[in-house]
Amino acid sequence: MTEILEPGLLEDPTLPLPRRLAPILRPELPSLAEEIVTEIRRNIPEYTGSIDGPFGHVLRLGVQEGLATFVDRIAVPHGAAAKNGIENICRKLGRIEAHEGRSLDSLQAAFRIGGQVAWRRLMKIAPRHELSSSVMSRLADAVFTYLDELVALSLNGYAEAKTHPAGAMDGRRRRLLQLLVEDSAGNAPLITELAESLRWKIPEQVTLVATRPGVRCAPAALDEDVLLDLEGPEPYLLIPGPLTLARKAMLRAAIPGRQLAAGLAVQPVRAPDSLRWARKALDLAERGVIDDGPVVACEDHLVTLWLLSDTELIGQIARRELASLDAMTAGQRERITETLQAWLITRGTAAEIGQHLFIHPQTVRYRMRRIEQSLGDQLKDPETRFGIEAVLRAMSLQERVTARRPGDRTA
């Protein structure tokens, strides 16, 4: 029986392998990962229906991360290579198997297939790089020792899921999440007590993620430290720390095919702010104002969120700063503000602005004279000029918001 490893025991052993192997192996990893997943799909019937779902996403990520970590251990054999990623993924695979009601036989078979495919590739490239039989022998030992470690970590996750089934603990985790979002400062004693009972380490930062009702989630595909409440009218999750690429991949695997938005990473006491920003970003993404894939990150759209945070205030600023344009017709006003915004953004010549707007430079000069007549004094003041630029950007974004039908949302 495979030995269960205690947390953190996937250490980087001293691999008596030449470091020159790492740059030889690394270019092979992308195609090797695809070949391994293809072979697993072909040879394990139990995975036929799940290989394209949340389990398949985690499995594919595990293959990629497992290969990369192995090569990193060759390149830096004394513990400098990060190992938390592959540890978490292996445990997650074990938990998914437990939740799906399967034994570990299929997962262990998948690891064996991965090892066999990887070894065939090594045998194929060895002659090209004149790898000696001694190096290949040590490499074989390293590969299959590493696979044993990964299987043991998966067994850990499987055993944990069997020992701690969902139910009462899920309710306590939702309560912890609610306390954090409601008022983590005022609820500090309760949060500390509940977190300790759940063995959930209170992080220095949290990122809140918003989605819409009716999502189908594979909880076992989530990292163990993620808190979630997907049953309410405004479902959301809490991720300890910032939204890394690995966390994004995790969210896509656990909640495939749905739009999500992640707020900023903040101290736990600011969790409500992160959730508020996430929900605003989700709304803008569904309206087509933000286009950033299935997981929108607020940190990539801060100016847009700021400019659209108070549309009534934007209207007030527009009425104050652009009052001198009120005498114009709607069409004239639109053309003048379009030219003014282009000038404020580019500070280009008439020819450059004309190229940007697809109009003749002489038309630009005419419009700029109208702008000078109407707003000349205001544009000389830096603070007022900044206000005008901000309000024009906000008005442009607001037009994109209102262009979508109310309630028109993407899946």
Question: Which residues are within 8 A (CB) of 164 and not within 5 positions of it... i.e. 6 or more apart?
Answer: none
206: β partners: 240, 266
In a domain, 7, yes or no: no
Pairing of strands 236-240, 227-229: antiparallel
Are both 327 and 254 inside the same structural domain? no
Top mean-pLDDT range of 99-108, 294-303, 305-314:
294-303
Asked whether 47 and 40 are in contact (CB, 8 A), the reply is yes
pLDDT tens digit sequence for 107-124? 899 999 999 999 999 999
What does the pLDDT read at residue 405? 47
In a domain, 332, yes or no: yes
Six-digit token pair at 48? 């036929």
Confidence of residue 406 (pLDDT cuts 50, 70, 90): very low
Domain end point (choices 104, 138, 163): 163
In a domain, 175, yes or no: no
236: β partners: 210, 229
Q: Of 282-291, 311-320, 324-333, which gets the smallest average pLDDT?
A: 311-320
Six-digit token pair at 388? 């005008």
78: domain CATH number? 1.10.490
Give the residue from 405, 326, 325, 334 showing the smallest Cα distance to 372: 325
Assign residue 304 a region (left: φ > 0; alpha: ψ between -120 and 50; beta: otherwise).
Answer: alpha
Pairing of strands 260-262, 295-297: parallel
pLDDT tens digit sequence for 225-261? 999 998 888 999 999 999 998 899 889 888 888 899 9
Are both 323 and 302 inside the same structural domain? no
Are both 47 and 138 inside the same structural domain? yes
What does the pLDDT read at residue 372? 80
Other Cβ atoms closer than 10 A to 278:
25
Are both 271 and 353 inside the same structural domain? no
Measured CA distances, 177 to 53, 82, 253 (Å): 27, 29, 22
Question: Average of pLDDT values for 191-216?
Answer: 91
Between these two residues, 97 and 409, which has the higher pLDDT value?
97
Domain end point (choices 281, 307, 333): 307
Give the residue from 204, 209, 245, 212 showing the smallest Cα distance to 226: 209
Are both 248 and 264 inside the same structural domain? yes
In a domain, 45, yes or no: yes
3-class secondary-structure state, position 261: strand
In a domain, 121, yes or no: yes
In a domain, 378, yes or no: yes
Domain end point (choices 292, 307, 322): 307
Are both 267 and 387 inside the same structural domain? no
What does the pLDDT read at residue 345? 78
Can you spell out the DSSP letters for 62-103? HHHHHHHHHHHHHHSTTTTS--HHHHHHHHHHHHHHHHTT--
End-to-end distance of the chain based on CA atoms, in angstroms?
45
Name the residue range of residue 44's domain. Answer: 21-163
Tell me how many domains the chain contains. Answer: 3
Judge residue 257's burial from the number of C-beta atoms within 10 Å of its C-beta, 0-12 exposed, 13-18 middle, 19 or more buried.
Answer: exposed
pLDDT tens digit sequence for 348-396? 788 888 877 888 888 888 888 888 888 877 787 787 787 787 888 887 7
Between these two residues, 274 and 317, which has the higher pLDDT value?
274
Are both 303 and 315 inside the same structural domain? no
Question: Which residues are within 8 A (CB) of 44 and not within 5 positions of it... i.e. 6 or more apart?
Answer: 106, 109, 110, 113
3-class secondary-structure state, position 31: helix
Cα R_g (the chain), whole angstroms: 28
Are both 251 and 353 inside the same structural domain? no
Are both 234 and 272 inside the same structural domain? yes
What does the pLDDT read at residue 67? 94
Mean per-residue pLDDT over the chain, rounded: 83
Confidence of residue 6 (pLDDT cuts 50, 70, 90): very low
Angstrom distance (rounded) from CA 157 to CA 327: 70
Asked whether 180 and 268 are in contact (CB, 8 A), the reply is yes
What does the pLDDT read at residue 205? 95
In a domain, 117, yes or no: yes
What does the pLDDT read at residue 91? 87
In a domain, 156, yes or no: yes
Question: Average of pLDDT values for 126-141?
Answer: 90
Give the residue from 245, 256, 355, 237 showing the smallest Cα distance to 300: 245
In the predicted structure, residue 11 carries a pLDDT above the cut 50: no
Angstrom distance (rounded) from CA 66 to CA 54: 18
The type of residue at 239 is I
What does the pLDDT read at residue 14? 45
Confidence of residue 333 (pLDDT cuts 50, 70, 90): confident
Are both 285 and 385 inside the same structural domain? no
Are both 136 and 247 inside the same structural domain? no
Residue that has been written with the tokens 């490239």 in this structure: 125
Are both 151 and 274 inside the same structural domain? no
- Assign 3-state DSSP to the chain and report helix, strand, coil percentages, each to 5: 65, 5, 30
